[in-house]
Chains A and B, each alone.
Chain A
Amino acid sequence: MLQGPGIAWYLGIAAFLFATGALGVLIRRNPLIILLSLEIMLNGGNLALIAFSRHAGNGAGQIFALAVMAVAASEVCVGLGLVVALHRRRLAMDVDKLSELRG
């Protein structure tokens, strides 16, 4: 028996986290904060996965959440590599000004 609030409350928090992360991705211009907002979106997804895993009494959701964590770590690795490369080349930390792919 699940004590305390039901699954729907957890899903509400997950939806709010996802929407907040999406707002951050859309509204911010600094690539570092866009990465942080992406982390919030991934964590909203993780919370929904774990809530449904508990609801169904099935472990696949938790396995999927751990895989999402590994994907988030990979994303941070590549994203922070990009940010450091931008910094080394003295480019502006503004995704609106980074409009060409040429190296």
Chain B
Amino acid sequence: MILVWIVWVVAGFACLASAVAVVSFSNPFYSALALIGNLGSLAVLYLLLSAEFVAAAQVLVYAGAVMVMFLFVIAYVGPRLETPWAGGPGWQSLGAVLAAGAIFVEIIVAIALKAGGRLKHSEHVNAPFGSPGWIGRLFLTDHLLAFEITSIVLLVAAVGGVILGSHTRRRETA
């Protein structure tokens, strides 16, 4: 019991700190590395919520494939430093901080109003909850349409990436 709390505190703190680090680093390379830490600690939180398959997919798909692509593109484009707070707090950054704070307060208030009283007692779940076989059965029975539409979205995105790449190449040779 106490071990779960310790793991939660460490993972939650790492999650919040790395999210702030992603936003505040001036070098995009460090931001991407901080985001890998963020995704890893989120996977630990998913494990605590007994979502084993989603945690594994998070590490494999996000922290693995997507972030490797990010790091590759950042290395390709080259480091472009940008100081987020350059020139003191202007009206733009002040407004951004206010807007982000308003979003945070709004989410908390909305959740507290709609579900505040019912968050105390979570349902009891059985052993196969969150396991790969259970997710696969849900995907191929109850949520088959979502599964198929996801594959179409991925296909369209891949075609879009190819078109973006080939278009600029043609312009350069012309």
Contact = CB atoms under 8 A, between A and B. Distances in A.
Interface of B is mostly: helix
Contact of A9 (B8, B125, B143): B8
A5 B129 CA distance: 19
A30 to B, nearest CB: 5
B62 A72 contact: yes
B113 interface: no
Contacts, number: 244
Contacts of A103: 167, 171
B154 A54 contact: no
Contacts of B31: 32-33, 36
Contacts of B93: 27
Interface-central residue, A20, A74, A88, by most chain B CB under 10 Å: A20
Interface string A30-60: 1011011101100100110011011111011
A96 B34 CA distance: 25
Given A36-B32, A59-B135, A63-B146, A20 B100 contact: yes
Interface residues of A, number: 75
A16 B19 contact: yes
Contacts of B97: 23, 27
A86 to B, nearest CB: 8
Given A9-B8, A50-B49, A73-B66, A65 B23 contact: no
Nearest to B123: A57
11 contacts: A22-B103, A26-B96, A55-B123, A59-B138, A62-B138, A63-B135, A66-B54, A77-B157, A84-B73, A85-B165, A88-B172
Interface of B: 1, 4-5, 7-8, 12, 15-16, 19-20, 22-23, 28, 31-32, 35, 38-39, 42, 45-46, 48-51, 53-54, 57-58, 61-62, 65-66, 69-70, 73-74, 76-77, 80, 82, 84, 92-93, 95-97, 99-101, 103-104, 107-108, 111, 119-120, 122-125, 129-130, 134-135, 138-139, 142-143, 146, 150, 153-154, 156-158, 160-161, 164-165, 167-169, 171-172
